[in-house]
Every structure is written in C-alpha cells, then in structure tokens.
Structure 1
C-alpha cells in the first residue's frame, strides 16, 4: 500500500489515528510527544486536513514507526475499544417554558463533558 493511497483516504486515516490513540491509552498531548508531531498538526491529521502530501508522509511515517505498524495496518485498523454507549436523558416537565441555560452553567456542563471524555479513555 502506498502513502499516496493513505493521503487520498486521509479522513479515514485520521479516524484510525484517533482510534490508535484511544486504544493505547494516550492523550493527544502524550501521543504528540511520543511521535514528535506538534499538537496542532496532530489535530489536523486526525481531522484529515493536511493538504500537503510531503507533510502528510513525514508525519504518518513518524506514527507508523512509533506504533510498529505499516501503511496497510494503519489503513485497515480495527478499533479495540468498545462501541460508544448511548445515554438516555430524562427531562423534567417542571422547567419553565422559556428556560435558557446561563453561559456559566453551560461552561460547567462543558467541563463535565471533558471529564467524562477523559474517563472514557481510561476506564473503558
């Protein structure tokens, strides 16, 4: 498998990189340090937004070397982590009709969401 084929499928490759990070218990920051790829560039790789083939090749090669895998294994990576559990929310009928969440409350909910995401990485 060629690096050009990986480049053509960079969205899928990005998803697979994210699955490798999750499956091996890395954070994006720790994976960034391990591979020698800057965090912003790693985020672009994960989103499939690296548009330069030369840049893509350089960084994918670092990932392949750090994980001991080849291009084909990266392209066809099967996640080890469990499928996401869907949560059901029960809402109260007691809330006022025009209720709006305050910006401070929304900020707290966002922090809690980040904490839950971290727990998913380490406890699933």
Structure 2
C-alpha cells in the first residue's frame, strides 16, 4: 500500500490515529512527544487537514514507526475500545415513610429532578 492511498483517505487515517491514541492510553500530548510531532500538527492529522503530501508522509512515517505498524494496518485499524453508551438514570424513592426532607434539601432534590426530566426529553 502506498502513502498516497493514505493521503487520499486522510480523514479515515485521522480517526484511526485518534483510536490508536485512545486504545493505548496516550493523551494527545504524550503521543505528540512520543512521535516527535507538534501538538497542532497532530491535531491537523487527526482532523485530516494536512494538505501537503510531503508533510503528511513525514508525520505518518513517525506514527508508523512508533507504533510498529504498516500503512495497511493504519488504514484498516479496528478500535479496541467500545463507544460509551448513553447515560442511564435511575431514581430511587426508598426513604422511610416517616422521613421528612428539610426545605433546603427538598429544593435541591426538586432541581435535580427537573434536570433529570430535561435529560429524558433530550436523550429519549
């Protein structure tokens, strides 16, 4: 596989670079130091915004060497992590029957209850 194919698919390559970062527990800053690629350039690679083939080749080669992978593995990288599911909310009203909330506490729970209901509206 040639570097030109990677360049033509630089958006996919960028997503895969981000997946490599996440899968291996790097931060963007630590990955930047590891590969000797500046942080702004790394961000451009991830977004697929590098327009120069020569610049792209230089930096992709650094990533390939640091991760000990080839061009094909980078293009076809399958993420190891699973995307997080939407948050699940559970409400409980299991206080003893004779329990009375203080006014300030009741106000706080009413506000939280409103927030939960708003989330239900937007996330369902």
TM-score by length of 2: 0.71
Provide the rounded CA distance (Å) in 1 between the counterparts of 2:32 and 2:113.
Answer: 40
Where do 5+ consecutive residues of structure 1 fail to align? Answer: 94-124
Task: Report the CA distance between 1:87 and its aligned residue.
Answer: 2.1
Provide the rounded CA distance (Å) in 1 between the counterparts of 2:31 and 2:2.
Answer: 24
The aligned length equals 94
What corresponds to 2:79 in structure 1? 79
Whether 1:19 and 2:3 are equivalent positions in the alignment is: no
Task: Report the CA distance between 1:82 and its aligned residue.
Answer: 1.2
1:74/1:91 CA distance change after superposition, 3 Å: farther
TM-score by length of 1: 0.71
Where do 5+ consecutive residues of structure 2 fail to align? Answer: 90-111, 116-124
What corresponds to 1:118 in structure 2? none
SS in 2 for 1:92: helix
For the aligned residue pairs, the C-alpha RMSD in angstroms reads: 1.8
Q: How does 1:39-118 map to 2 (within 5 A)?
A: 39-87=39-87, 92=114
Provide the rounded CA distance (Å) in 2 between the counterparts of 1:53 and 1:81.
Answer: 30
Task: Report the CA distance between 1:92 and its aligned residue.
Answer: 1.1
What corresponds to 1:120 in structure 2? none
Task: Report the CA distance between 1:88 and its aligned residue.
Answer: 5.2
Task: Report the CA distance between 1:85 and its aligned residue.
Answer: 1.6
Report the structure number with the largest CA radius of gyration.
Answer: 2
Task: Report the CA distance between 1:54 and its aligned residue.
Answer: 0.1
What corresponds to 2:35 in structure 1? 35
